[in-house]
Amino acid sequence: MMSETTMDSTTELLEPLPAADARTGSRAATEQGGLRARPEPRVVRRTQIPDSSGIEDAPRRTLRGVRVEDVFYVLGSLAAAMATATLLFGWIAPLTGVAGWFVVTFLFFIGIYVYLMRLSAGGQEVRDKLATLLMVSAGLILVFALIFVVVYTLGRGAEALPHLNFFTQTMEFAGPLDPLTEGGILHAIVGTLIQIGIALAITIPLGIVTALFLNEVGGKFARFVRTIADAMTALPSIVAGLFVYSAVILLITGQRSGFAAALAITVMMLPIVIRTADVVLRLVAGNLREAAYALGATRWRTVWHVVLPTARSGLVTAIILGTARGIGETSPVLLTSGITAVANFNPFDGPMISLPLQVFDFVRSPEPTMVARGFGTAAVLLLLVLLLFVIARVIGGQGAGVLTARQQRAAVERSKRDVIRMSPRGPVRGGQRWASRGKTTDPTSSQRSS
């Protein structure tokens, strides 16, 4: 068997074969041949593991464990703080409000915890525990605030969301006093989709090509562009809206329209997309580019076949996160799109409302049904943003150039096809060779017999 393999490899080497084949074949041949040509006696040294029988292991200590008393201190002081705060709020002091109760509980909790710790631990340890406690509570406050904002909006929106007409009707024939079974936000959904669509149609090509300009072309002007783009990220969104309002609406079109709103969103989104895409492109490893140049690729081919595919997931993430920001922006739209209750499919003519502006418009009314509609709209907007965010996370989970298992298989398939395509024997016979190799049959038996 051994000699047969060697035989095969040598035969392969003798004939002009596809590059990959020849390389592996020849290496195998020289290794095996070399071994047999110089049969030096090899001394095998193994790692010696001392005999451990008879030695008993002590139980492994946990270095970072949590002591039972730590848990008791936290729980105990929390209970004490809650009880004290309740007592204060209920009987002793004239205090009201849930938020106040939380603040008082928190302060008591810190105080009681520190006191308990002082009983058993030294100053350094108490300070360390206190700092940890404060950090954890900052994180918890933030996470709870976020969850609370989301849940509160969804909860108040739940009143309007179950009605199907909320998604299929407009507010054209529904007044503020009508029940929730009348009217809906179809016009706002349509408006948001059209406006963000136009904004993306401008932002994606312009933003990414500009980012390519900054990274792949470079030069003095590129540095200038980068400075300007950085400066524009500081532009308050309301000022972007004011610019479009006075430069486009007052001077040119004379009316508010979806297109003007899309322009305002573009002015706001463009610097964000340029900046994030710039960062993503900078993460593409320089040696990939150099490899492409060394193979004689032109700059454009390098960009198209190396830089952009490597940075793809990051670029998509940048665009999606930019979209999420753009969809949620209210202030530039407030000045430019106009408020309407009718579905308007033409972005160039007449006012076209979008979801955030619709929220703003609904909650200005004192009617409870309108406020409920406002929360329903906000919930739809929030869910849309969450969806975009999840998509961005799923796509952009990896760094630049890191492939998932499926992408890796696809890349292997592609390079196999490339080998076949480039093989001097032509694609057909090469294909057969690859196919037969895949089935682990002897690849060269047919050649030898012929």
Binding of another protein at residue 29 (CB under 8 A)? yes
Nearest CB to another protein, comparing residues 125 and 418 = 125
Our finding on whether 112 is near another protein (CB under 8 A) is: no
CA of 318: how far to CAs of 114, 226, 277, 281, 304, in Å? 45, 17, 6, 11, 18
Cβ 381 vs Cβ 355: under 8 Å: yes
Instruction: Name the minimum Å distance from CB 234 to another protein.
Output: 4
- Total number of residues that touch another protein (CB under 8 A): 109
Contacts of residue 169, Cβ cutoff 8 Å, sequence gap at least 6: 182, 183, 184, 186
The reply on whether position 71 binds another protein by CB under 8 A is no
Of residues 181-210, those binding another protein (CB under 8 A): 205-206, 209-210
Give yes or no for residue 6 binding another protein (CB under 8 A): yes
Nearest to 341 by CA among 194, 196, 165, 186: 186
| Nearest approach, Cβ of residue 48 and another protein (Å) | 32
- Phi, psi torsion values for 101, nearest 5 degrees: -60, -45
Q: Does 214 bind another protein (CB under 8 A)?
A: yes
Closest distance to another protein from the beta carbon of 212 (Å): 5
Query: Cβ atoms within 10 A of the Cβ of 238, count?
Result: 16
Asked if 446 is part of the footprint of another protein (rule: CB under 8 A), the reply reads no
Task: Report the nearest approach of another protein to the CB of residue 45 (Å).
Answer: 28
Query: Cβ distance 255 to 337 under 8 Å?
Result: no
As measured in angstroms, the least distance from the Cβ of 431 to another protein is 27
106 sits near another protein (criterion: CB under 8 A) = no
Min CB(196)–another protein separation in Å? 13
Residues 6+ apart with CB under 8 A from 401: 284, 285, 288, 310
Site string for another protein, 294-333 (x = CB under 8 A): ----xxxx-x-----------------x--xx-xxxxx--
Q: Report, in Å, the least distance between residue 439 CB and another protein.
A: 26
356 binds another protein (CB under 8 A): yes
Angstrom CA distances, 424 to 17, 23, 432, stand at 7, 15, 14
194: CB partners within 8 A, 6+ apart: 258, 262, 345, 347, 352
403 touching another protein, by CB under 8 A: no
- Which one, of 201, 159, 164, lies nearest residue 186 by Cα? 164
Residues with Cβ within 8 Å of 423's Cβ and at least 6 positions away in sequence, in order, are 17, 18, 19, 430
Q: Tell me whether residue 378 or residue 420 sits nearer to another protein (CB atom).
A: 378
Helix then strand count (H, E) for the chain reads 20, 0
Residue from 19, 87, 107, 136 in contact with another protein (CB under 8 A): 136
**Smallest distance, another protein to C-beta of residue 428, A:** 28
Q: Which of 75, 79, 87, 142 binds another protein (CB under 8 A)?
A: 142
By CB under 8 A, is residue 361 in contact with another protein? no
